[in-house]
Every structure is written in C-alpha cells, then in structure tokens.
Structure 1
Amino acid sequence: MPEPLIWKKRIRTIRDFNYSDIMQAGVLRERLLHSSYSLTESRIILEISRRTSLTATDLSRDLGLDPGYLSRLLGRLETGGVIERPRSKRDGRRRVLKLTPGGKRIAGLLNRRVDDDIAEYLAGLTECDQSRLMDAIHVINEINDSRGNRIADSRYFLREAEPSDAERIARGYEALFEQTFGSAGEFRQALTDTAALLFEITDLRQAHCWIAEMNGESVGSIVLEQLDQDRLHIKLLMVEPKRRGLGIGGSLLDQAIRFANGTDSKQMLIWTIRDQRRLQGMLSKRGFKQTDRPTVSYYGMSFEVESWTLDLRE
C-alpha cells in the first residue's frame, strides 16, 4: 500500500471522477454499500452535502436526471426527513436543498462507505495499475474539459403537440413548478384543464402547443390559448434547465407569434413571474411591452407577476 497521503489522494481522485464512469467500472454498487438508499438517491444526498445554495434545477442539470424523476426522488427524501427545501434568503422564488440533521448523519455514513468501497477497489490493484488508473483518469478529465469548451450540438426542431404528448407535457411543467414553488397539488388542476383545451375534440380548438425536440428528447414547449375574442394568452412556456441558452425559448416564442399573426386576434398576452431578466429580454426583443405588475390568484394560489402584451399585425 502506498503512503497514506498518496492513498487518500487516489481515493479523492476517483471520488472526483464522474460518477457514471465509476459505476461503469464497478466501483460503486447499485445499493451503495448496503445502505437503504439507491445509487441515485445516495448521489443526491452526497451532492447536497458538499454544495451550498443548490437547487433541484442545478441537480437535474449536473447529474443529468429527468426533472420529473428527480422531483419524485426529492419528495421521498423530504418525506423521509433526509432533506428540506426552504426558500432562498437571496431570492424567495428559489428553493434550495439542504440536509436535515438526520440527513447530515446519513451523508457522513455514505461518505465513509464510499471511501471504504474505493479503498477496497484500489487494494485489488497493483501499485503499477493504481498509477496507470490515476493517469487514465487525468487524461479522461482533460478530454472532457476540452470537449466542454467546444460548442455543443444545438440542433433542435419544433413540432405541434399530439395527444400522446399530454402526459409528458404535464410532467415537465409539474416538475418545474415543484422545483420553483414547492408542492404542485393545485397546479395539477391547471394542467388537467390545459390538456382538455389542447386535445379534447371540439368544434373550435381553444389552445395549441408546440414542442422543441433535441436528440429525441422533449427540451421545451409553449402553450397558447384563446383568452377571449381579441386576445391570445401564452399560458405556459418552458425550456429544460440543461438546454437553456441555446435559443430554444426564443424559437418557441417566435412560433407562437407567427401562429397568432395568422389569426383574427389583435393582441398576445403573457404573465411572467417578476424580474425574470432573461425572459424579459426575450419578450422586449420581440416587441412585447410590460403593462402591469399585479398580484394574481391562480387555482387557489397567489403570484406576483408581470403582464406583457404584444400588438399583433392587422
């Protein structure tokens, strides 16, 4: 066995290595060292333990987890008394992830077990193979870092939603709502009503939805409904957190505007949560004007919003 400091450094190097690569190598077991938590749950607990001001959106992006799946896992951990989700002191719209006192004890145990598991893995290698492994990890990290500096493949396309998309659309918006505001109990009714407007067969279709797809995945969507005879309302707009910054939100807005300009409506309206600067910029660029900053009630919930309107071509 090498010197203790070298030994600890090698354990740390493997721990810092991408978790998915460790799992593929067989270093971490599906049930992390016989704990009562799955590998994914253990990853979440460990990630929360080492970072501050972490949100569900951050976790979804960094661990590559589906927002809906992550939301369910976080709900189980919260119910089990492992984590809590207080509102951020800096931004009351955001909920941060924190370990409870019991969660911190669990994280400490998991950390010790991970170190022991990696030590057991290393002990089965010769000194020469341990050194080769460290070199290989450094090379992989260098390649991944250089890859990250290149422009990612940002090709996506838009299509109109179909009835088979209803559940996926609802799940995406529900997960985003839970990450931002907490329990989505009341909001589920809004999603049910929206699906009825989109997909129930009527003489006059009252709403339309477009989905952005990338590499076979849904990465964003927009829902446009007829508010009254003269106005169309952008009811829902979402881009998956890990796909933001690629222009998807703007493309969805442009599609909705093109459709609206082909109708008899005179104005398009959108309500946004206050002070969303990126969205404000997207709206301003397309000619939307902020008209009001009301507090609105929506399915039993109260929100401080901004009202933006766009005059459509006659």
Structure 2
Amino acid sequence: MPTGTPSATTSATPSGAARDAGPDAAADVRELRRFNRFYTNLIGALDYGRHLYTPFTLTEARVLYEVANHPRVDAADLRASLSLDAGYLSRLLGRFEDRELITRGKSEQDPRRQRITLTEGGREAAGLLEERSQDAAGSLLERLPAADRARLADSMRTIRALLGKGAEQGDGDRAPEVALRTSGPGDLGWMVERNAALYAAEYGFDLSYEALVARIVAEYAEQFDPRWDRTWIAELGGERVGAVMCVRDGRPKVARLRLLLVEPGARGHGVGRQLVDSCVEFARDAGYDEMVLWTNSVLGAARGIYQRAGFELVAESAHHSFGQDLVGQDWRLAL
C-alpha cells in the first residue's frame, strides 16, 4: 500500500553536482572543507576525551544538553535529533545511568518509549558544561572589536540560514521543535484529506488515490489493536505537519509502514525521519520480526529516508495507478 510521502519531493544532490555546478564549485567545496578543519580545531571538537575540560566527549555533552533543555525527552527523540546509532546511544545512556546522571523509565504518553530524566548530578554536569561552553565562546569573541564581532555574528547567521535550508529559528539559536504524538479524534480524517490534496497537487494523482487512502484509514480504525498498530502525528508550532502508520501486514510477525506524510512547509526539519524512526522502534518493541512498505520511485527523498532507516529495496515493477504511469517499489527492514 502507498507509503510514499510528499515530505521529500527533492532527491539528494548527486555526487557529481559540484563538478556540474560551474567552474567555481570545486573551489567552493575546498573552502568549505578548509573552514571545517579550521573551526573544529579552534573549538577543540576533535579532543573527544576532554570536551571543555570535562570528563565528557562532545557527543555525551550534546546528549546532556538535549536532555537538560527539553522538559520531556525520549530515547527515540535523542536518536533522531542527533542522528545517533541506536546501539551507540543505548550504551551511552547506560554509562550515564551507571554514573547516576540520568534515570530511564516508561514514557507517560507511550509506555513503549523510554523517557530520559536528569538526576541532580546530571543537572549539575549539564550546568557545568553550559557554563564552560559560554566561557569558551566568550573567550573567542572577546579578542575581537565590536564591529568585527557583529560581522562574525552576521556571517554565522548566514551560514545557518543557507545550510539549514532557511529554517526559522526559535528560542535563541534553536530551530522550532518537532513534537510527535499518537493519533486522536480527527487525525485520521486529516490524514485522508492531506494525502489526497498533496499527492494531487505534487504528483497529479486522481480521485482513486483518495479512495485508496480512505480505505486504508478505515481498515486501520476498524481493526485497531494497540499492541500491534500505531499512528503518529507530527506537530510543529502546535500545528499538524506529518503522520505515519504502523499496521499488521497480515503475515505473522510482519509490520507494514503506511501513509508517511509531511506538509511542504515543514520539510527540512527532520519530520519524516523522526516519524519513520518512531514507527520502526515501535515495531521492534512490539515484537515484529520485519517491517515492509510499498512506495513509488517518484518519491526520491522519501526513499532516502527509508534507506537511512535501514530499509532495502527488494522488488519493483511498473504500473498505471491514480491516473499516472508509475514504478512501484517494495522495501523491507529486518528488525
């Protein structure tokens, strides 16, 4: 069934793009890499053993920062927002727990998810890291005249805007947060409406696609079993911007990912990735052995999300559906 999403209508840039973009592209790439080497050395990012003269690595410091600056944090949220391997993050959190920096327990919203909370010692460690980070940044800036500091700040804002795809920044230097929740009244109807409208606008799908989505949603509602089925709604700024479903495939121990959707205005915030990660984690925790999905080749960046989550393409075939000539694809992930 369809899982492709308008969340990703732009495919990844080909590896040869720098060569095709013009005569200055290669020089621009070299300059970016030169800046990266300079800045990571300047702030000591490669000194993994003693970030900011503390016993924490840079990654550990980032995890502590995320937990300290969000009132409710789940392990899945950390993995998605920091792009960390699940096994690596689990070991890191285990070390934090051994050092009595955090506690882990069931999420209030979803008992299948793992809520991370700082202990008093964890708050002290996060506070020390924040203080030293502020001091380190201040020491870099204090040597500059006011005019040069203003130029530097403007340049850094420009870098964030260009490389962050122009995402609006919230509370200081943080981008607006994506919040995931399970579905409630009215959400399933919204999924039918938005799937139909976006696929029609972006891919020319006809009314038969809306009919198919409506059948999928109706079947989900009629046969819903909380042990095996789950729908997530993504919100940005309190507005619904995305959704995905995990449902029983019909074969024993096989889950199916369905109806991944991200609104155009929310693209670039990692919404699709977080939705898929949550879907996979739920399926794994529920006891499924594998997860499958069906999509179409026109959804290039959506396929990139699936690939990053570990899905593998197992079959594809041409078909005429929804008023279009398409190439359907079957993807599989061993859990």
TM-score w.r.t. length of structure 2: 0.45
* Greater relative CO, 1 or 2 (CA 8 Å, sep 6+): 2
Larger Rg: 1
Q: What is the TM-score normalised by the length of structure 1? A: 0.47
